[in-house]
Structure 1
Amino acid sequence: MPSKRIFQSIILQLSEASKHTIGVIDSHSVVVASSDLQQLDSTVPGIIESYDGDNDIKRIGNRVYCYIAHNKRVEYCVYVEGLEESAECTAKMVAAFLTEIKEYHDDRFDKGKFIKNLVMDNILPGDIYTRAREMNFAMEVQRAVLLIRVNAGNSISVFDIVSELFPEKQKDFVFSISETDIVVVKEIGRDIDLRDVEKLAGSIIDILDGEHYVSCVIGIGTIVNTINELATSFKEAQLALEVGKIFDNERVITTFDNLGIARLIYQLPTTLCEMYLKEVFRKGSIDSLDQETLFTIQRFFENNLNVSETSRGLFVHRNTLIYRLEKIKKITGLDLRQFDHAIVFKVALMVKKYLDSNPTKY
């Protein structure tokens, strides 16, 4: 909010072009600026409370009041003394001018808006540090960016719930970028690592899902040390959600740093992916594998190619599993018990998942 000094300076300049006494009342009914210096710091009881949300102009006695409100909450009220019609015109003019000043000041000095514009890459690189210094914003601090994505059409305000989880409003910032996406920029200590950030994400999911029955997924970007890296971290969180949706849609927390080979495949041209599948498999062989076989392969990979552990996990005899692996070898030409063949098959399955997600062809 602009300071009293700024408002007082503006009111004194405007009053030079008007015969009326002009003043500004804050949300606590206190006169914070006036062309009549004797009225400064006095109170106007009931004027803020009488605002009904519909009429911005009100005449009481010899004063015209013009409200400056946001979301039906009064932030300031301009008053002009005088019974003439010009008093109302003056009140409207002053209110419009102060609204513009307030919006400019908020855009320039509001840390929340600054962070949102920074994350959304809406600030020129050369202006970042200048703006940060103007508002005494800590520039060389470790921060994490979390992107929370919820299902559209929730009846409760997920944004309000998430905001309440981060009471340090000068250090942690929460804002919405769409109906489904909420961004959290969390300041963290130097002793905090990615696992701690994942725990934080887990606690957010527990509260949203466990207490409010709102399902969500969270993407986490790389932890950054300077404010000019926040936009990159946000893009990484977005990418983490997109890649996670394709390659592991059961995972609710995906970190960019742990995407591994999935990130590489996601960035490959589709023509190259299609060529890879044709080179690795006989025509149609990968499509001939049924769900039971694919499930067996998944468990085999999860148990680090250990036949005994996999057979126990699947509750099948060891020989039954070996028979299935031989069947896979016969169909695809790859023996998953061999490390090199297993890697080729693992990558091929991920490539197929990527192509099945109908990416843009190029």
Structure 2
Amino acid sequence: MDTETLRQKIEQLTGNKAEIKQFGRQKSASLFGAGSDAAERSIGYEESFWIPLFESEGRITALGIERAELSDMNLQLAEFAAQSYSAAMKASGFKEEGENEARQLSAWLNAQLEQDEHDGEIPDDIGLKSRLFTDMVPFLLVSENMHGNELAFRSLLKLVRSYFDSTALLVPLQEKEWLILARKELLTGSEEKDEDEATDDEELLAQACMGLHELIASEWVGIFHVSVSSSIAPVKGLPGIIALLRETISLGRVFQVGEYIHLPWELQLERLVNSIPDGRRRQLLAQFGDYTPILADKEMLTTLETFFEMDCNVSETAKKLYIHRNTLLYRLDKIKHETGADVRSFGDAAIVKLTMLLYKVTKRK
């Protein structure tokens, strides 16, 4: 049983809100004292009772239960459950390395995102802060659905570190959502790169996403989405990066149906279209003309999507679709005949591309 499972069981047992929190060294000493008895007695602090679970490098991780309407009997039961958990951990010699620090960081990140604060610096009392000054690559992993048991922190952390290395960090954010931070050097190299090599970095990050997704999907049955951003020093601005990756996955679910790797630099136009109010989107669709017969035709829609993916190159599109070049030209001529738009010209191609995106997002409203 991990601390999150313990927290959930205590909430069910008492009917009161519970949380797991790691206190900094100074706060741990002032609340729980020092020495061998530091993590052995419950205390009242602010609006909760805090039951210590274990100590690590002077920091106490404790279970907090709201005081409001908490009966003495329920408090005693919660203390017994927490002490049994603590004793089991000591007996096994196991330390939940990183989990409580990760959940402490998670609580701060979620609070910043709820307040729409994206540029904040991680506070000094967050245990992981000292590890977040170097450049790291942030990944966001989201489970759309899973069959069977939920992912346990330790199981997922073990898998993530088998893919990257032992320095990789895992931060559970919301339910079925995890932030992964990996050393930049593992993915893009440590040397300085010219601006012309930015595309190479994007390709490496895309490959890392695909590898991570394949590993997770092969281990657990379910649908997983992965996104990644360029490297940052996570100590400052991390909430903004998480917001970007969340938005990227949300856009990917709408505009890249059937795909599970969603990259911010590939969804820039989609991000713009998504920001247009729904009423204005429908006005634009009406102004551009009726493309419904083409966009509702799966074969034609796939042809257009591939044509734009291949930068409007006829030969490359035909190869990608496994059709003869003349077959593709026939389809493009059919689109021109039915809509009046020749997608081989830049202006018409831009309008059709925009119409496709507007159609996708308004169709799902």
Scaled to the shorter chain, the TM-score interval is 0.5 to 0.7
Go from structure 1 to structure 2 and tell me whether the alpha carbon gap of 1:306 and 1:171 turns closer, same or farther (over 3 Å shift).
Answer: closer
Deviation per residue, 1:297-319 (Å, 9 max, x gap): 23333343333444455555544
The Cα shift of 1:264 comes to 1.1
Residue of structure 2 in register with 1:175 after alignment? 171
The Cα shift of 1:340 comes to 1.7
- Code of the aligned partner of 1:159: A
1:330 lines up with 2:328 in the alignment: no
Larger mean CA deviation between 325-334 and 204-213 belongs to 204-213
SS in structure 2 opposite 1:183? strand
The Cα shift of 1:353 comes to 0.7
Alpha-carbon distance between aligned partners in 2 of 1:128 and 1:70, rounded to the nearest angstrom: 35
Go from structure 1 to structure 2 and tell me whether the alpha carbon gap of 1:323 and 1:27 turns closer, same or farther (over 3 Å shift).
Answer: closer
Residue of structure 1 in register with 2:261 after alignment? 253
SS in structure 2 opposite 1:72? helix
Alpha-carbon distance between aligned partners in 2 of 1:177 and 1:133, rounded to the nearest angstrom: 15
Larger radius of gyration: 1
Residue of structure 1 in register with 2:156 after alignment? 162
Residue of structure 1 in register with 2:314 after alignment? 307
Q: How does 1:34-183 map to 2 (within 5 A)?
A: 69=82, 72-74=85-87, 111-122=101-112, 128=121, 130-131=123-124, 137-160=130-153, 161-166=155-160, 172-183=168-179
Larger mean CA deviation between 309-318 and 327-336 belongs to 309-318
- Code of the aligned partner of 1:119: L
The Cα shift of 1:128 comes to 4.3
Residue of structure 1 in register with 2:292 after alignment? 286
- Code of the aligned partner of 1:6: G
Residue of structure 2 in register with 1:354 after alignment? 361
The Cα shift of 1:357 comes to 2.1
The Cα shift of 1:163 comes to 1.1
Larger mean CA deviation between 313-322 and 251-260 belongs to 313-322
Go from structure 1 to structure 2 and tell me whether the alpha carbon gap of 1:310 and 1:71 turns closer, same or farther (over 3 Å shift).
Answer: farther
The Cα shift of 1:276 comes to 1.7
Alpha-carbon distance between aligned partners in 1 of 2:293 and 2:221, rounded to the nearest angstrom: 38
Residue of structure 2 in register with 1:270 after alignment? 278
* RMSD between superposed Cα atoms in Å: 4.2
**Unmatched 5+ stretches in structure 2:** 1-21, 23-27, 42-51, 56-73, 91-99, 191-200
**Unmatched 5+ stretches in structure 1:** 15-24, 29-54, 58-65, 78-109
Residue of structure 1 in register with 2:248 after alignment? 240
Q: How does 1:183-262 map to 2 (within 5 A)?
A: 183-189=179-185, 191=189, 193-262=201-270
Deviation per residue, 1:65-101 (Å, 9 max, x gap): x857268342799xxxxxxxxxxxxxxxxxxxxxxxx
Alpha-carbon distance between aligned partners in 2 of 1:26 and 1:331, rounded to the nearest angstrom: 70
Go from structure 1 to structure 2 and tell me whether the alpha carbon gap of 1:134 and 1:234 turns closer, same or farther (over 3 Å shift).
Answer: closer
SS in structure 2 opposite 1:186? strand
Mapped contact 1:111–1:170 kept (Cα < 8 A): no
Mapped contact 1:142–1:225 kept (Cα < 8 A): yes
Residue of structure 2 in register with 1:7 after alignment? 34
Identify which of structures 1 and 2 has the higher relative contact order when contacts are C-alpha pairs closer than 8 Å and 6+ apart. 2
The Cα shift of 1:147 comes to 1.9
The Cα shift of 1:247 comes to 0.9
Alpha-carbon distance between aligned partners in 1 of 2:129 and 2:303, rounded to the nearest angstrom: 57
What is the number of equivalent residue pairs in this alignment? 280
Go from structure 1 to structure 2 and tell me whether the alpha carbon gap of 1:178 and 1:188 turns closer, same or farther (over 3 Å shift).
Answer: same
Larger mean CA deviation between 251-260 and 193-202 belongs to 193-202
1:343 lines up with 2:336 in the alignment: no
Go from structure 1 to structure 2 and tell me whether the alpha carbon gap of 1:273 and 1:75 turns closer, same or farther (over 3 Å shift).
Answer: same
TM-score where L is the length of structure 1: 0.62
Deviation per residue, 1:173-227 (Å, 9 max, x gap): 3233344222223343483655444444333322222233343111224432241
Alpha-carbon distance between aligned partners in 2 of 1:139 and 1:302, rounded to the nearest angstrom: 37
The Cα shift of 1:341 comes to 1.0
Go from structure 1 to structure 2 and tell me whether the alpha carbon gap of 1:172 and 1:350 turns closer, same or farther (over 3 Å shift).
Answer: same
SS in structure 1 opposite 2:249? helix
Mapped contact 1:68–1:76 kept (Cα < 8 A): no
Go from structure 1 to structure 2 and tell me whether the alpha carbon gap of 1:114 and 1:187 turns closer, same or farther (over 3 Å shift).
Answer: farther
Go from structure 1 to structure 2 and tell me whether the alpha carbon gap of 1:165 and 1:316 turns closer, same or farther (over 3 Å shift).
Answer: closer
Residue of structure 1 in register with 2:195 after alignment? none
TM-score where L is the length of structure 2: 0.62
Residue of structure 2 in register with 1:85 after alignment? none
